[in-house]
């Protein structure tokens, strides 16, 4: 496999910060680029901005055709006039995370401007808070003092929580969705399998695959994507999609895909490597694994939100076993202990973790209601 | 990595069948070796034999030090005088499955006697029923007409069900534990990830790694073991064992294991490759994936047991998400429809699928009661 993950021709909308960013680990990433997209119009008071945070393998192409895959934006279902992320009312901002590979500074970026030497595995460890700090620089750069809302699911929800904890005065409303205040041992374990698969691929070359043009650890990254993809679906969703349906002839073969679910997973794996950098995958999964908001606040989660002015909308999905409802409930209890204005909904769905990205009318209505209520409170 | 998975010096107790075995796929495996171990003494009436079926990565070393790993037998906890598998009362037989790598004929066996050419990926696809047919030949060879009981968990439980369906008159009592009458789409998907990891390892060499002495696809097999291992544990068990405990210094590093769960999984993966053949892993996981007892009986599971004289003991564990209680209940409903003598217990445990191998006193008491009851009925 020798495809370049990101075509050179993709021109990202990018904010450039020559001063760079100091990270939690002590390293300085300089310069810092934050690639982003916006949708809708910022009003004169700059009071209608909604920051949308993407998940592990998402990017800034929230609601438009993706420049690499040609597919619809990852949350296009809820963006547009009269939709929950209403572009007639809100100015949406979506930025590629620090450590990502769609234009923001990450392992695939040059170590210094114009250099052929990429960061690769020398890219420092980033945390969810580092990602949020990079987004804050973008929001400041856009002249926005307070975001009407910060919204995101999965790792995006971790960023929402970190925004509310770190910049409470800059977040009027926060919607952490299908997420948790820390990554569980099981989730760490699944991500470790993915990382081990990448490390095991000889084309990873100890992280230095970028030294050979076009070389990517496609097999390892593909296996990582396969295992992650299973965790995004519920058992019911997998069964509904595939059951135990055989693919083609019933002849028993040793090497071929025999079940439809196998072909589907292999396809998921192989399309992913076209658009995602393996060292970015290592960097971002590790950031998720390190996320532990309680630990960062003396072991007491409610301390992260003490006296917060932010209003919260917490949503979980009943069949999500990656970020189960029990973790959202623990978050809600902590928000209650902090006397935060909090609403919580568990959406009945059999689609698993991916439900937050899919057609879930009850979820869309609840999120839309929360955002519109916040907008009305601010007179937007 | 260049360790030979199975030391040459291990001498297995083996039954040799020169006529071979005709498989479901139409192929003939000839000759057929079935490696096995026995514990306890066969009585004069040959009425006290209990066949124990092992799971995916188990073998015949049920209750003694393993010749490769030096660790205790995989079900030693329940074998011995006054234990559920009471060696004062029962004659226990445990055979390595067809397709395995501990002495029974499998992909690591010579294609013909004395040949240097191993089966490798030319080994035909085997089914759970083929495994059971091979065991039946061993049981016949030992002169046993009817087994007092067939007992097994996970893939061992699949074999128990197949024994009862295929040879009902030869099975007085059957104990399928932590198992299901078919493999779910989710389970197939997880096994496909493991197979993809093996296929991706260049040392697998399209299955021909055996051509180079000592070469094994250690990295791929290790990743396969890691992902499987996560599915054997409950979220609670992983959290109790590791939580989010950091390993050593809190310094953020890019490449090292940082969480204890990572080190544990890597260790699980690397010890496994010392004792297991990768092509066996491919063969046996595929056999599990193909298992669908209802489909083999016109789509109606109860038809597999219609008029059965066998008594059944079905057991599941509350935190087992690989073979959840719902699947055992579906099995029990089918047994009820077939008017089979059936008892069912769901054991409250937070240890996940692995619970069936661990200290679970309530489970041990229930299984022991069932087996002793069956023995008393037969006057053993």
Question: What CATH number is given to the structural domain containing A78?
Answer: 3.40.50.1820
Give mean pLDDT, residues B253-262: 58
- Comparing alpha-carbon positions, the chain A residue that sits nearest to B27 is A252
Q: What pLDDT is attached to residue B259?
A: 64
Determine whether the interchain pair B259/A230 forms a contact, defined as Cβ–Cβ distance below 8 Å.
no
Which of B122, B192, B350 has the most A C-beta neighbours within 10 Å, making it the best mutation to test the interface with A? B192
Is the pLDDT at A253 greater than 50, yes or no? no
Q: How many CB atoms lie within 10 A of CB A261?
A: 27
SS (H, E, C) B281-347: HHHHHHHHHHCECCHHHCCCHHHHHCCCCCEEEEEEECCCCCCCHHHHHHHHHHHHHCCCEEEEEEE
Q: B2 lies in a domain?
A: no
- Which range marks the domain in which residue A265 is found? 187-286
Q: What pLDDT is attached to residue B264?
A: 72
Q: A368 lies in a domain?
A: yes
Q: B98 lies in a domain?
A: yes
Residues B297 and B281 in one domain: no
- Comparing alpha-carbon positions, the chain A residue that sits nearest to B219 is A200
Placement of tokens 């934050």 in the chain: A34
Q: Could you give phi then psi for residue A379, rounded to 5 degrees?
A: 70, 30
Is the pLDDT at A252 greater than 50, yes or no? no
Q: Is A335 helix (H, G, I), strand (E, B) or coil?
A: helix
**What residues of A act catalytically?**
154, 320, 353
Q: Is B35 helix (H, G, I), strand (E, B) or coil?
A: strand
Place B239 in a pLDDT band, splitting at 50, 70 and 90: confident
Placement of tokens 């409250």 in the chain: B348
Place B69 in a pLDDT band, splitting at 50, 70 and 90: confident
DSSP secondary structure letter of residue A143: T
The strand pairing partners of B151, in sequence order, are B52, B175
Residues B26 and B102 in one domain: yes
Determine whether the interchain pair B196/A222 forms a contact, defined as Cβ–Cβ distance below 8 Å.
yes
Closest partner residue to A259 (CB to CB) among B188, B230, B253 is B188
Is the pLDDT at A249 greater than 80, yes or no? no
* Percent of the residues in chain A that have a pLDDT greater than 90, as a whole number: 79
Is the pLDDT at A10 greater than 60, yes or no? no
Q: B313 lies in a domain?
A: yes
Residue ending a domain, among A237, A263, A286, is A286
Q: Could you give phi then psi for residue A57, rounded to 5 degrees?
A: -110, 15
Q: Are strands B49-53 and B21-22 parallel, antiparallel or unpaired?
A: unpaired
Q: B191 lies in a domain?
A: yes
The tokens for B202 are 């260049």
- Give the tens place of pLDDT for each residue, A87-142: 999 999 999 999 999 999 999 999 988 898 999 989 999 999 999 999 999 999 99
Residues A177 and A235 in one domain: no
Residues A157 and A66 in one domain: yes
CA distance A173 to A151: 8
Residues B180 and B62 in one domain: yes
Mean pLDDT of chain B: 91
Is the pLDDT at B133 greater than 90, yes or no? yes
Is the pLDDT at A33 greater than 80, yes or no? yes
Q: Are strands A32-39 and A14-17 parallel, antiparallel or unpaired?
A: antiparallel
Residues B355 and B273 in one domain: no
Mean pLDDT of chain A: 91
- Give the tens place of pLDDT for each residue, A322-347: 999 999 999 999 999 999 999 999 99
CA distance A211 to A120: 9
Q: What pLDDT is attached to residue B7?
A: 46
Q: What pLDDT is attached to residue A214?
A: 85
**What residues of B act catalytically?**
154, 320, 353
Q: Is A30 left (phi over 0), alpha (psi -120 to 50) or beta?
A: beta
CA distance A216 to A214: 6
Residues A315 and A355 in one domain: yes
The residue among A252 and A273 whose pLDDT is bigger is A273
Question: If you count them, how many residues does chain A have?
Answer: 380
Q: Is A265 helix (H, G, I), strand (E, B) or coil?
A: helix
Write out the H or E segment, with its range, that includes residue A177. Answer: strand A171-177
Residues B154 and B271 in one domain: no
Q: What pLDDT is attached to residue B271?
A: 74
Is the pLDDT at B206 greater than 80, yes or no? yes
Is the pLDDT at A299 greater than 60, yes or no? yes
Determine whether the interchain pair A244/B182 forms a contact, defined as Cβ–Cβ distance below 8 Å.
yes
Q: What pLDDT is attached to residue B75?
A: 97
Closest partner residue to A190 (CB to CB) among B182, B230, B259 is B230
Determine whether the interchain pair A262/B125 forms a contact, defined as Cβ–Cβ distance below 8 Å.
no
User: Lowest-confidence range among A44-53, A224-233, B172-181, B251-260?
Assistant: B251-260
Q: What pLDDT is attached to residue B240?
A: 83
Query: Which residue, A116, A118, A93, is CA-closest to A108?
Result: A118
- Give the tens place of pLDDT for each residue, B23-61: 999 999 999 999 999 999 999 999 999 999 999 999 999
Closest partner residue to A242 (CB to CB) among B121, B185, B292 is B185
CA distance A350 to A235: 8
Residue ending a domain, among B259, B285, B311, is B285
Cα–Cα distances (Å) from B183 to B190, B195, B288, B347, in that order, read 11, 16, 7, 21
Residues B111 and B254 in one domain: no
Q: Is the torsion defined by CA of A173, A178, A184, A190 positive or negative?
A: negative
Residues A34 and A156 in one domain: yes
The residue among A3 and A280 whose pLDDT is bigger is A280
Q: How many CB atoms lie within 10 A of CB B299?
A: 9
Residue ending a domain, among A236, A263, A286, is A286
Determine whether the interchain pair A192/B261 forms a contact, defined as Cβ–Cβ distance below 8 Å.
yes
């Amino acid at each position: 496999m020798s495809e370049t993950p990101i075509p050179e021709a993709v021109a990202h909308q990018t904010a450039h910060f020559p001063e760079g960013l100091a990270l939690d680990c002590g390293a300085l990433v300089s310069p810092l680029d934050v690639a982003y997209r916006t949708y809708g119009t910022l009003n004169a008071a700059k009071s209608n901005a909604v920051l949308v945070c993407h998940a592990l393998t998402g990017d800034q192409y929230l609601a438009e055709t993706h420049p690499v895959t040609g597919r619809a934006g990852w949350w296009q279902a809820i963006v547009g006039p009269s939709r929950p992320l209403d572009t007639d009312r809100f100015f949406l901002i979506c930025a590629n995370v620090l450590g990502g590979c769609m234009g923001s500074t990450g392992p695939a970026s040059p170590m210094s401007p114009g250099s052929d030497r990429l960061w690769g595995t020398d890219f420092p460890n980033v945390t969810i808070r580092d990602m949020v700090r990079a987004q804050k620089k973008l929001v400041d750069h856009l002249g926005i003092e307070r975001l009407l809302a910060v919204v995101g699911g999965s790792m995006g929800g971790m960023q929402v929580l970190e925004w509310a904890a770190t910049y409470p005065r800059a977040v009027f409303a926060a919607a952490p969705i299908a997420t948790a205040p820390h990554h569980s041992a099981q989730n760490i374990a699944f991500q470790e399998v993915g990382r081990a698969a990448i490390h095991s691929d000889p084309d990873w070359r100890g992280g230095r695959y970028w030294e050979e043009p076009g070389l990517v650890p496609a097999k390892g990254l593909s296996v990582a994507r396969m295992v992650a993809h299973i965790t995004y679906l519920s058992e019911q969703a997998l069964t509904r999609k595939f059951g135990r349906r055989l693919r083609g002839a019933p002849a028993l073969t040793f090497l071929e895909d025999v079940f439809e679910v196998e072909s589907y997973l292999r396809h998921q794996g192989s399309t992913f490597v076209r658009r995602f950098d393996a060292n970015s995958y290592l960097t971002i999964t590790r950031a998720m694994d390190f996320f532990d908001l309680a630990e960062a606040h003396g072991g007491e989660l409610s301390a992260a939100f003490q006296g917060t002015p932010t209003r919260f909308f917490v949503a979980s999905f009943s069949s999500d076993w990656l970020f189960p409802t029990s973790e959202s409930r623990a978050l809600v209890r902590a928000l209650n202990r902090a006397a935060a204005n909090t609403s919580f909904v568990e959406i009945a769905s059999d689609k698993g973790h991916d439900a937050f990205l899919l057609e879930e009318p009850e979820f869309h209505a609840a999120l839309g209601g929360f955002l519109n209520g916040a907008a009305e409170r601010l007179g937007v």
